[in-house]
Structure 1
Amino acid sequence: MTSPRHLLAALLCLGLIVLAGCSSTGGGRGGGYYKDDGPGSDIPADIEAIPDAVPRIEKHAAANFRPYVVFGKRYVPVSDERPFRQEGTASWYGRKFHGKKTANGETYDMYAMSAAHPTLPIPSYARVTRAGTGKSVIVRINDRGPFHSSRIIDLSYVAAAKLGLIGPGSGQVVVEAITNQDIRNNTVAPPKTMPIPPAAPPPPVQEQPLLIARNGPATPDALDALQHDDGGLSGNEPLPVADGQSPGDPLGQAVATVASGLYLQFGAFSAMHTAQDLAQKLNDQIGTMESRSAQVQAGDKLYRVQIGPYSSRTEAVNAALRIQQQTGLQPVLAQR
């Protein structure tokens, strides 16, 4: 007969086994999806029946092709008229971002055939083929990311499911842009039938920490740098320096934390009227495309121009990209 003490020990062991299994599924990028992310609760019954995205020529604002900087790395969007082919690792994102705004202001739908890419035009279309199987899908690029050197594209849940990437969380793919000329000529390439040899996995690369602005000495007033002949905000300005960070140290020994209360910071000034002028200029330009407005936050004898709060780093980055495309100004992330 099993004693209560032995029974308790067995239950504790079973609990540890269950916890160990949970921590290895989806808790990190090694073998799953983003932390705290995963499949939704209303998964379509027949994912294979969901059609691919149908390519069509879409209009782009000139700002969509403006270079931008995320976490210290500069990205240059490519033309929608030039061929583009890329091989690397694809990942996917699901319920954590479902219903949130994408980088171009649309709403992310994890059950639509879409994807995020760092440089392909948004919106545009691409064929994604899984290496080793030759399985292929067409997705609409309507978001930016993933901003990690080890991955080249983030697929929606449905696109990843059709390629068989939900279980492993990632896999080797070939990304081929569908150009406007392809669409005009109705020459969108058919799905490949021959398997593509799988590429060797890339060596592990340590990701850069998230840049978090911290309180400290006042940064130089940057309002003059925002005045240009076109009356707008230039897209050629370098990434602003966060409070307490020297230009020689682009990461500023930043702390890699993701917490609630993230803000986009556009400057820190010693004069209140300077901060108010910048906030007003921002609000005049983003009022029709951004739900949050620029505010002046006073503290430590500084007046900081910030927009927020955002609930996650991804939400803040997407907002920063939308605002940059509209104004040309590159903010830093600040945490209150």
Structure 2
Amino acid sequence: MRHSKRSIQLISSLLALSVLSACTTTVSRDDQPAYGSAADRKIPDYAPDGTASSFQDGPAIEPTPRVEEKSAFGNPPYYEVDGVVYHVLASGNNYKEVGTASWYGQKFHGRRTSSGEVYDMYQFSAAHKTLPLPSYARVTNINNGKSVIVKINDRGPFVKNRLIDLSYAAAKKLGYDDKGTAQVEVTVLKSPKGANRMVESDGKLEIAPMDQQHDNAKLYVQVGAFADEMRADTLASRLRDHFRQPISLTAVEVNGQTLQRVRIGPLESPRAAEAILAQLKQYSFGAPRVVAD
């Protein structure tokens, strides 16, 4: 697909003038963990087995798998990190996968996870990109046969070819805390009930009431939102020159102001959204985001 330099510059200028921050379903830690780097391995003194939740509490206990309600945070149908779209699974039942595990420790100790819980490096927990939160899984180190049950309450790791990110205590129990990564098998034991979905309300994403939830949420790439309808029309017209997908203008009230949202979609899949995001960013189309209705 060819783009004239003039049209690209025009769209970029329009976006630079008045694109507002679009609704995003991104859920992740504030920045990337050290994944067992030398800096993260500077662990303070702890109990001999390395699994004390604090200096006084004694050894941590593996969580008991149970069915819970989905977390109010960290469970959008889709979210995007660094241009990659992730589709959160409706259920983790029957999930089993083999891949590379990393771990995160002191750098994130005491900070909020994607589910809203506080991360404790001395408890048995984990981060996963697509399993619903919270889920419980057995993680087994393929190399030595050691296993641990963890509560998955966070998102990540957003590093290529990484399957799961374990807490320091879990990595210690599996015997790879001094190596940084290991090949593991992840088997979900319990997955949360309910199918929380996110809907847009007054420009913000909220959990839909149960009677409004559905599994066929429509997926869009929102390129911008404009108070000036003419600018929105101009951007939509230019986008139609370059994309075969539908380009729509929809009005939304935000803080008493009417904004015209410029969206590409609905799209068939997260993969299609990812391809469009990559193309938009290649030509500096502002800061597009994936949204779901």
* TM, length-normalised to structure 2: 0.52
> Does residue 58 of the first structure (1) align with residue 77 of the second (2)?
no
Partner of 2:187: 176
Relative to structure 1, is the Cα distance of residues 61 and 170 closer, same or farther in structure 2, using a 3 angstrom cutoff? closer
Partner of 2:157: 146
From 173, 186, 189, the counterpart of 1:162: 173
From 88, 92, 115, the counterpart of 2:126: 115
Indicate the structure whose relative CO is greater, using CA pairs within 8 Å and at least 6 residues apart.
Answer: 2
Relative to structure 1, is the Cα distance of residues 35 and 100 closer, same or farther in structure 2, using a 3 angstrom cutoff? farther
Alpha-carbon separation, structure 2, partners of 1:81 and 1:92: 21
Q: Is the 8 A contact 1:103 1:143 kept in 2?
A: yes
Partner of 2:142: 131
Q: Is the 8 A contact 2:50 2:172 kept in 1?
A: yes
Relative to structure 1, is the Cα distance of residues 34 and 122 closer, same or farther in structure 2, using a 3 angstrom cutoff? farther
The sequence identity of aligned pairs, in percent, is 41
Partner of 1:90: 101
Which moves more between the two structures, 65-74 or 133-142?
65-74
Alpha-carbon separation, structure 2, partners of 1:100 and 1:225: 27
Relative to structure 1, is the Cα distance of residues 41 and 74 closer, same or farther in structure 2, using a 3 angstrom cutoff? same
Relative to structure 1, is the Cα distance of residues 277 and 158 closer, same or farther in structure 2, using a 3 angstrom cutoff? farther
One-letter amino acid of the structure 2 residue matched with residue 139 of structure 1 = V
Alpha-carbon separation, structure 2, partners of 1:62 and 1:50: 26
Partner of 1:70: 81
Residue deviations 1:131-176 (CA, integer Å, cap 9, x gap) = 1211100000000000122211000000000011111111111111
Shift of 1:226: 7.6
Alpha-carbon separation, structure 1, partners of 2:82 and 2:220: 12
Partner of 1:281: none
3-state SS in 1 of match to 2:116 = coil
From 30, 40, 62, the counterpart of 1:37: 40
Shift of 1:112: 0.5
Q: Is the 8 A contact 1:117 1:152 kept in 2?
A: yes
Q: Is the 8 A contact 1:92 1:170 kept in 2?
A: yes
Partner of 1:204: none
Alpha-carbon separation, structure 1, partners of 2:202 and 2:220: 14
One-letter amino acid of the structure 2 residue matched with residue 133 of structure 1 = N
Q: Is the 8 A contact 1:80 1:121 kept in 2?
A: yes
- Greater percentage in strand: 2
One-letter amino acid of the structure 1 residue matched with residue 62 of structure 2 = D
Alpha-carbon separation, structure 2, partners of 1:154 and 1:50: 18
| Alignment of structure 1 residues 226-237 onto 2, 5 Å | 236=218
Shift of 1:45: 3.2
Shift of 1:67: 1.8
Q: Is the 8 A contact 1:83 1:179 kept in 2?
A: no
Which sections of structure 1, spanning at least 5 residues, go unmatched?
1-27, 182-222, 248-273, 279-319, 331-336
Relative to structure 1, is the Cα distance of residues 36 and 55 closer, same or farther in structure 2, using a 3 angstrom cutoff? same
One-letter amino acid of the structure 2 residue matched with residue 99 of structure 1 = G
The structure number with the bigger radius of gyration is 1
Alpha-carbon separation, structure 2, partners of 1:133 and 1:41: 26
3-state SS in 2 of match to 1:162 = helix
Shift of 1:38: 3.0
Q: Is the 8 A contact 1:39 1:94 kept in 2?
A: no
Shift of 1:75: 1.4
One-letter amino acid of the structure 2 residue matched with residue 123 of structure 1 = P
Shift of 1:238: 3.8
3-state SS in 2 of match to 1:148 = coil
One-letter amino acid of the structure 1 residue matched with residue 116 of structure 2 = G
Shift of 1:276: 4.9
Alpha-carbon separation, structure 2, partners of 1:329 and 1:36: 38
Output the aligned Cα RMSD. 4.3
Shift of 1:47: 3.1
Relative to structure 1, is the Cα distance of residues 72 and 242 closer, same or farther in structure 2, using a 3 angstrom cutoff? farther
3-state SS in 2 of match to 1:47 = coil
Alpha-carbon separation, structure 2, partners of 1:84 and 1:157: 23
